[in-house]
Structure 1
Amino acid sequence: MKKKNLLITTALIGTMTFSGIAPTTFAHDAMGSDINKGERAVFTNDELEVLKSSLSASKNISNLREAAAVQISTRADGVQNNTADVYAHKGYAYLGTHTASGANGGIRVFDLKDPSNPVEVATFADEIPNTWQEKVIVKTVNTPHFKGDLAAVSVQQTSRNNANRPNSKGGVLLYNVTDPSNPEKLGFFELDRRITGTHELYLTTQGNRAIVLMSSPYADYYTGGQEKDFQIIDVSNPAAPEKLWAWDPRELKEIPESFNGYHWFAPDGKTRPVFNHSVITDNNAQYAYVSMWDLGTVIFDIKDTENPVYLGRTEYADNQKGAAHSAALAKGGNVLIETREVSNPSGAGYETAYGYTRIFDIKDKTNPVLLSEFKTDLTYQEPFTSTFAKTVHDPKVLGNTLYLSYYSGGVVMVDITDPSSPEQIGQYTPENSDVWGVFVDRNYVLASDMGQGLKVLTRGGDSGNSNGNTQIKK
């Protein structure tokens, strides 16, 4: 029997303002942001009992409840930065920071020993002037050169190749976070200053090697072909990272003659942006999944990291904006989740839809097969000034549950037991929501709200406060 929606509270979305300038083909991340911060909706125990009573005798409730919300500390100069992505490792949350308020917010570390009271214990990777640190991945590695917990941090210039900022440079910072409260810098993989930097990245291991997969949008274009959008870096010795291999979408046989600058003149007659936005790999680092915007998610066999093999890619209907932003894997790596960040659905010949999620069968990685497209029934309070208010952003998967960050929609929880028929089963939307990232850690879910900091959410009957707006299905 299909479940029916039961909306417990109405999301009260505050007004948001965005500022900043970026190339029209870039994603959200190149833009600055200043958020009007408001108070969260808080329910008394009596009010919660009234809400719970409306669920009648339901036994199977899936929801997300706010156990804690804490803003990151201001910088030493008193500036309040905004958060970007979120990651967790061994009971600590790691939050990246955005370009807003001058950037250089670094990575913020929170002790989650008590999930209802996260404590900020360290800041690191903020030493390169005029840069921002969106993405951080932390893994336990054991190489001939380093044993412990390694953090890889993306570094991007706020103003690419600016002559007035000679000390600004992009790349990947590497830190020892075995003691999360006392991070130690190990090394830096520096990119050509003509490249903005490393936008997103993924840290993984192959045996006793540690490698970083890097996304550097338009590296090929900015450097006249000297650098590439997708690079694989050996960081087994974090003090001396080494490039193993690089690739650019212009190398695909089907498209090289149809590129001009930022744009691809696609077979459907449309001029489409193509660049490497992000990359992930499976747990065993056998395959890489590269989000190449309107070229789709490109799949590589990376078992030999110095000689990867192109396998295939996802494709779009002529009326779809591609906008392959991020990816996640499910069902033992046989299912690919692809989120598409479409903030502006207008344009001749395109569907009038904001970004949504597509799910593929990739048992045959040379031929991804579309299983379903997931579109939420989120409602929003108008008007919006945020460019990215209504689009999906990042995906994470735990078991048969998909978690999606949705900017003004907060966090959406989806049952993908049957990937061909995904079903929304929960939602968390704080007031003035601007949720960037989501991460599933142990018994709770972490969300990074650009303007409000770290959110710790519990699932189902887990303990925790019920602040924020929650949609429940029964």
Structure 2
Amino acid sequence: MKNRLIPSLILAGALTVSSIPFNVLAHDELGDVNIEKGERTGYSEISVPVMEGSKNLQFLYEAAAPEMKTVRADGKQNSFADVYSHKGYAYLGTHTQNGGNGGVRVFDLKDPANPKEVAVFANNDIPGTWQEKVIVKSINTPSFKGDLAVVSVQQLNRNNPDSKGGFLLYDVTNPETPKKLGFYEVTKKTSGTHELYLTMQGNRAIVLAANPYADYYSHGEEKDFQIVDVSDPSNPEKLWEFDPRTLEEIPEDFNGYHWNSPDGKTRPVFNHSTMVDETGKYAYVSMWDLGTVIFDISNPKQPKYLGRTDFASNQQGSAHSAALAKGGNVLIETREVYNPTKQGYEQSYGYTRIFDIKDKTNPKLLSEFKTDLVDDIENGVTFANTVHDPKVHGNTLYLSHYAGGVYSVDITDPANPKQVGQYVPEKSDVWGVYVDRNYILASDIGSGLKVLLKNNGSSSEFQGVE
């Protein structure tokens, strides 16, 4: 479904953007297309940010797009990755530009219209790496009580003897003085941990780590999806890892990545992302063309496979990320399809699918939501037109969408999603979106942090995003 927007509200002020290109392999790095995320031409003609929409979203405005200060000692600037918020602070991950090692940048959002950068951490710990994803939670275990940040660490080059991949753990109880607590390492044969999630189960803290191609590159010695006990952050301990061969539809000779699926196609299978519901009981694991795999992780040492999403034979799976809605009864699945002309498949960039998962053993497709970008395949293969990450607040779904910025979608009726708004920064290359009750955050690969607020007076009067 495509949706037209009402006339746009042009936002005042221009954004500072970086013109320096950077390189990173596509997520499906073993596939038949090798493109570089973030390095692209053909931006839209938008010269200032725009926001347009209906419902309450026409009252949102871009409150802040702070210029990203150069924080590295060598005077070079990094590109930017995902964004997270916790207790009034924004945590901005960094990408690969200028050799990575940008760490996590922390912003005080007490005045969301005037973010103040107060710290950088995880930037000098491991040479030759980049720190894309950060999750921050308040945890309480026998070994640690406070706010814990887990940070993905990925190698730029697996042949670099000084680098290693996995995830870092930091005490950010005082976000302005982060303290390193520990590191969890995955096999040197893979790039490291790409995305991850942190949750509490009683007095135990666990991390669910996505380590793409660990199975493939280690010949099964380590697996792509791992559950790690971080109750003592100085001594993380692996509890369990998922072997796809345990599923009936996966042949025993599967050796990571290549899956001869029942539809006769050879499909990629690797873990791209993980997330957990609010109870800490159910895990949703994005396994690319195996779909979103659902586990009961009540016992994290012996999780139970429940079910997974499936695709039509002409669809590239590319299950990239997930979010939940309607009290955990609805699953949002975004698909990062960046090659819309792959032989044997529909000609389309990645779009969003919505499932009823009241019965988690049998996800049922309710709808598919397509933006106005996904059918634009005339400009060649690019990440610019595919959807990326989903976030949900109430009955509104927010999608980060590279060239499309941030889309807002009304999912009051999940079987009939409707676009109600869009925010597009200058030279949009939006990687992440995060919804807090006090603001909406977006992260642009080239230009960094964006803060959106309601236009109802001073920022202190903001009461929530509807």
Partners of 1:404 and 1:307 in 2: CA distance: 33
Distance 1:179 1:271, change over 3 A: same
Partners of 1:109 and 1:39 in 2: CA distance: 31
Q: CA deviation at 1:307?
A: 0.5
Return 15-24 or 336-345, whichever deviates more: 15-24
TM-score normalised according to structure 2 size? 0.89
Letter in 2 for 1:73: K
Deviation sequence 1:292-312 (CA, Å, 0-9, x none): 000000000000110000000
Partners of 1:355 and 1:279 in 2: CA distance: 19
C-alpha contact 2:396 2:408 (8 A) present in aligned 1: yes
Corresponding position of 2:156 = 158
Corresponding position of 2:462 = none
Q: Tell me, which stretches of 5 or more residues in structure 2 are unaligned? A: 460-466
| SS of residue paired to 2:262 | coil
Corresponding position of 1:124 = 121
Corresponding position of 1:215 = 210
Deviation sequence 1:264-283 (CA, Å, 0-9, x none): 11111211111000000001
Distance 1:62 1:213, change over 3 A: same
C-alpha contact 1:435 1:449 (8 A) present in aligned 2: yes
Corresponding position of 1:70 = 66
Partners of 1:297 and 1:412 in 2: CA distance: 22
Query: Which residue, out of 237, 243, 246, partners 1:242?
Result: 237
Query: Which residue, out of 307, 310, 334, partners 1:312?
Result: 307
The correspondence of residues 389-428 of structure 1 with structure 2, limited to 5 A, is 389-428=384-423
Partners of 2:374 and 2:267 in 1: CA distance: 29
Partners of 2:331 and 2:117 in 1: CA distance: 34
Distance 1:412 1:462, change over 3 A: farther
| SS of residue paired to 1:221 | helix
Corresponding position of 2:464 = none
Deviation sequence 1:181-212 (CA, Å, 0-9, x none): 10000011112211211010000101111110
Partners of 2:205 and 2:31 in 1: CA distance: 30
C-alpha contact 2:103 2:130 (8 A) present in aligned 1: yes
Corresponding position of 1:144 = 142
Q: CA deviation at 1:257?
A: 3.9
Residue 345 of structure 2 corresponds to residue 350 of structure 1: yes
Corresponding position of 1:94 = 91
Letter in 2 for 1:98: H
Note the aligned Cα RMSD (angstroms).
3.2
Partners of 1:28 and 1:454 in 2: CA distance: 30
Partners of 2:377 and 2:426 in 1: CA distance: 13
Partners of 1:406 and 1:192 in 2: CA distance: 31
Corresponding position of 1:472 = none
Deviation sequence 1:82-124 (CA, Å, 0-9, x none): 1100000000000111112110000110111111111111111
Letter in 1 for 2:424: T
Amino-acid identity (%): 65
The correspondence of residues 434-453 of structure 1 with structure 2, limited to 5 A, is 434-453=429-448
Distance 1:128 1:385, change over 3 A: farther
Letter in 1 for 2:99: G
Partners of 2:265 and 2:292 in 1: CA distance: 19
Distance 1:368 1:28, change over 3 A: farther
Partners of 1:72 and 1:214 in 2: CA distance: 29
C-alpha contact 1:16 1:384 (8 A) present in aligned 2: no
The correspondence of residues 245-256 of structure 1 with structure 2, limited to 5 A, is 245-256=240-251
C-alpha contact 1:301 1:309 (8 A) present in aligned 2: yes
Query: Which residue, out of 252, 267, 270, partners 2:265?
Result: 270
Distance 1:381 1:274, change over 3 A: closer
TM-score normalised according to structure 1 size? 0.87
C-alpha contact 1:35 1:450 (8 A) present in aligned 2: no
Return 108-117 or 253-262, whichever deviates more: 253-262
Partners of 1:131 and 1:176 in 2: CA distance: 20
Residue 112 of structure 2 corresponds to residue 110 of structure 1: no
C-alpha contact 1:258 1:264 (8 A) present in aligned 2: no
| SS of residue paired to 1:5 | coil
Corresponding position of 1:469 = none
Deviation sequence 1:393-412 (CA, Å, 0-9, x none): 00000110000000000000
Deviation sequence 1:198-229 (CA, Å, 0-9, x none): 01000010111111000001111211211111
Corresponding position of 1:7 = 7
C-alpha contact 1:215 1:229 (8 A) present in aligned 2: yes
Partners of 1:314 and 1:117 in 2: CA distance: 42
Deviation sequence 1:369-418 (CA, Å, 0-9, x none): 00000011359999868820000000000110000000000000000000
C-alpha contact 2:220 2:255 (8 A) present in aligned 1: no
Deviation sequence 1:35-68 (CA, Å, 0-9, x none): 789998459xxxx9xx99xx9xx98654542111
Partners of 2:24 and 2:205 in 1: CA distance: 36
Partners of 1:108 and 1:307 in 2: CA distance: 36
Q: CA deviation at 1:350?
A: 0.9
C-alpha contact 2:155 2:164 (8 A) present in aligned 1: yes
Partners of 1:71 and 1:380 in 2: CA distance: 33
| SS of residue paired to 1:85 | strand
Corresponding position of 2:295 = 300
- Structure with the larger RCO, 1 or 2 (CA within 8 Å, 6+ apart): 1
Q: CA deviation at 1:17?
A: 5.8
Letter in 2 for 1:215: A
Return 247-256 or 352-361, whichever deviates more: 247-256
Q: CA deviation at 1:168?
A: 0.6
C-alpha contact 2:340 2:377 (8 A) present in aligned 1: no
Partners of 1:274 and 1:405 in 2: CA distance: 23
Return 14-23 or 166-175, whichever deviates more: 14-23
C-alpha contact 2:208 2:228 (8 A) present in aligned 1: yes
Partners of 1:378 and 1:88 in 2: CA distance: 28
C-alpha contact 1:83 1:453 (8 A) present in aligned 2: yes
Corresponding position of 1:431 = 426
Partners of 1:189 and 1:124 in 2: CA distance: 16
Corresponding position of 1:387 = 382
Letter in 2 for 1:7: P
